[in-house]
Structure 1
């Protein structure tokens, strides 16, 4: 991927960094939606009371989970930050969807349990990675460029385990499990497309405003900062809960 302005923008870091920190604070305010991103008591109670095939409720829950999934959305925003063609956007989003769909379905079906705090910390690290990649940090620091397609797929696998962990919190009945899981996955993809569409519309206006390249550095510093705070929150939660 081409990052036409990041290196040049780095020299203006002293100007844009305060804005980056402000944007990071705004992004992290979304962390208050963490309870929505998890399992609400109403949703959990409903799912625990039903058995059999219930496609529409699971589609709704999947879409709701993705739309309120601030960590997933931050990563997706980073992935498409410097993507302009519909072909490239479709490819990267498809790789991410393939990754998270695979581990979500397999994780729930086979009951693969991963500590929610640890997997969410890895998801936070995926946000940090993507922001650093957008900043060209790996090329400057190590002289190498990670394979962005492979990284998107791999982090998609981790995001899928995060989804699987949340679904297992629902204590879904085994009766009708596979159709319900597939419906949940359809909902996740619907939610992802809706969120992606909103992100692309906003970025489209931003790119046409003339300030996109000026503030790209600051935006990715903010994204990186948000990712580090997400990691810190999850690691702290892990030790407090232990």
Structure 2
């Protein structure tokens, strides 16, 4: 396969993906917080796709009142509605459904926090678009729930995966790879924590554009590496740390969609971070295994896969940069 064919194949993949969305489509989010006995403040957030608000609505059990005919209002690339419901006898055991979720391919996240500090985070799937509020949850269950949220964010966040893939292709040698991956982890953990705790407040759109630009920069470095040209004088671990600070802010914006339980913020934040790391490690293991398999097959196969990856990363990153800057 010639280089031209590789480029054309990569761009075909980019254009096909662009027809779906230039952004990660995040799950719909329903936050229910108890504010007084039998009274609950509700925040409902639903993504907009190509400017159209998805017609998904929360539906509480019949005993709860105040939730009908609530229309979300546009808020950036999403729509948000805030209202209160009253559920006599408490919300435990109440069924909450996400109407029309079954007609989509995205999930919903329902977070319920009571005055007692009890918190539950439930992932709702299109195949089973409802859940029952648990009567009780332990701290271990909350930790587990946020670990799952972190893992799923990584696995369904193509921009972060492409950056990690670029790092794996750029760095040679196990020792350098471990140092570089550790620098990336420390950096994104730092900004994730600061942003989640409200210490850093930076608008999401510029961050998303800079994340895309960081991936494009990595693609350029990969081309220089393959051609034997002089690359950036910045050490890989320092590069990973600098760009990791950006990606941590991206993780924080995703975590904000779910929210943190007021009574268990440190544990939930740690759990989300652990989930992110588990997702990253799983991805790294798969990529390294595939790379080793290709190396054993033949050198030409490894080179072809390398160039497919490089142009795929660069093409997708270029698309994201243009789209995200245009969306300011």
**Residues 142, 203 of structure 1: alpha-carbon distance in 2 compared, 3 angstrom cutoff:** closer
1:19 aligns with 2:109: no
Give 2:111's aligned residue.
47
Q: Return the structure number with greater helix share.
A: 1
Give 1:126's aligned residue.
214
Contact 1:99 1:153 in 2 (8 A): yes
**Residues 35, 75 of structure 1: alpha-carbon distance in 2 compared, 3 angstrom cutoff:** closer
So what's the TM-score if we normalise by structure 2? 0.60
1:212 aligns with 2:302: yes
User: For 1:226 and 1:213, how far apart are their aligned partners in 2?
Assistant: 20
So what's the TM-score if we normalise by structure 1? 0.79
Contact 2:163 2:215 in 1 (8 A): yes
Comparing 115-124 and 187-196, the one that deviates more: 115-124
Q: Return the structure number with greater strand share.
A: 2
Give 1:234's aligned residue.
324
Contact 2:147 2:275 in 1 (8 A): yes
Give 1:7's aligned residue.
none
Which runs of no fewer than 5 residues in structure 2 stay unpaired? 31-106, 120-138
Q: What is the aligned-residue RMSD (CA, Å)?
A: 2.9
**Residues 217, 36 of structure 1: alpha-carbon distance in 2 compared, 3 angstrom cutoff:** closer
Contact 2:224 2:230 in 1 (8 A): no
* Greater RCO (Cα-Cα under 8 Å, separation 6 or more): 1
Contact 1:58 1:184 in 2 (8 A): yes
| Larger-Rg structure | 2
Give 2:180's aligned residue.
92
